[in-house]
């Protein structure tokens, strides 16, 4: 199972996220989400936000940059999905019953909107985790224990809470390795260093999240490749290929009046400085 469940950075690479897709499809079947027509339908089935919310900040003439599903199909073969389903059955036999998977999709425009409000990527990631925690509590209808990866390498999180801001909480632990909080009526949430390499369920979530992220990034690449010849297959991470992609699309983006805020995240500057 460790060949299929571990740190997503080690198991997946750019353009090779079939394993993450297999976990998403296998868990979705356990949720009753079966026979979805393709990746787009699966992402929408897993997203906490509906299509209208996801597209709310999109310029009408450029919606297809992020939401054009043309040419997409599942890439994980049936054998890999079956292997993952057996992994889930094995976990269930050991008392770890995986019930559902969910995701929060955040685009460059939303990240830039938050920068305008004085919040950086750390806040956006944290608030997405809080939403998933609250969603889990609502589904379970009882207190839950959430284990998350560390966000931004921080030790203290309570002051930056968004959806959970103002809720009564107690600090159970705060340190470089683990920061944990108890919230009456909700449960406990912990942010743990290297969680995706040491916690099976965090690893599972990370693999699915990486698949969703790369699927949506590939749409952006295809959108601009249709307009600009010989564009590289950019990952969207901070690397030379992505830097070239940004530079070589600049004139076309200006000509097509694609807002920069819908394409690239602006650097965040501490408003206190």
pLDDT of residue 271: 59
pLDDT of residue 191: 96
pLDDT of residue 187: 98
Q: Are 8 and 205 in contact (CB under 8 A)?
A: no
pLDDT of residue 11: 79
pTM tops 0.85:
yes
Q: Please give the structure tokens belonging to residue 272.
A: 């206190």
Per-residue pLDDT of the chain (273 residues), as tens digits, is 888 887 777 877 777 889 999 999 999 999 988 778 899 999 999 999 999 999 999 999 999 999 999 989 999 999 999 999 999 999 999 999 999 999 999 999 999 999 989 899 999 999 999 999 999 999 999 999 999 999 887 899 999 999 999 999 999 999 999 999 999 999 999 999 999 888 999 999 999 999 999 999 999 999 999 999 999 999 999 999 999 999 999 999 999 999 999 999 988 776 555
Residues 242/16/47/217 CA torsion (nearest 10 deg): 20
Helices (H) and strands (E) in the chain, counts: 11, 4
pLDDT of residue 269: 73
CA 213 to each of CA 16, 90, 109, 128: distance values in angstroms, whole numbers, following the listed order: 12, 28, 15, 14
pLDDT of residue 270: 66
- Tell whether the torsion through CA atoms of 176, 119, 133 and 171 is positive or negative: positive
């Amino acid at each position: 199972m460790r060949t299929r469940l571990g740190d997503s950075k080690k198991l997946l690479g750019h353009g090779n996220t079939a394993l993450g897709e297999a976990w998403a499809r296998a868990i979705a079947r356990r949720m009753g989400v079966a026979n979805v027509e393709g990746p787009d339908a699966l992402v929408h089935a897993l997203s906490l936000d509906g299509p209208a919310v996801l597209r709310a900040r999109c310029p009408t003439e450029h919606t297809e940059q992020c939401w054009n599903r043309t040419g997409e199909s599942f890439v994980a073969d049936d054998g890999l999905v079956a292997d993952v389903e057996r992994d889930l059955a094995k976990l269930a036999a050991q008392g770890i019953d995986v019930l559902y998977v969910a995701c929060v999709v955040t685009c460059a425009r939303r990240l830039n909107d938050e920068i305008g409000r004085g919040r950086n990527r750390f806040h956006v990631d944290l608030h997405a985790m809080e939403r998933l925690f609250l969603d889990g509590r609502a589904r379970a209808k009882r207190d839950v224990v959430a284990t998350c990866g560390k966000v931004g390498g921080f030790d203290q999180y309570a002051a930056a809470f968004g959806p959970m801001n103002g809720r009564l909480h107690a600090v159970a632990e705060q340190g470089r390795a683990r920061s944990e909080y108890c919230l009456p009526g909700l449960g406990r949430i912990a942010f743990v260093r290297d969680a995706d390499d040491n916690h099976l369920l965090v690893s599972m979530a990370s693999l699915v999240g990486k698949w969703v992220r790369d699927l949506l990034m590939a749409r952006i690449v295809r959108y601009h490749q249709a307009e600009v010849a010989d564009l590289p297959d950019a990952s969207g991470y901070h690397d030379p290929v992505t830097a070239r992609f940004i530079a070589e699309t600049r004139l076309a983006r200006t000509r097509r009046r694609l807002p920069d805020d819908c394409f690239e995240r602006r650097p965040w500057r501490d408003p206190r400085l």
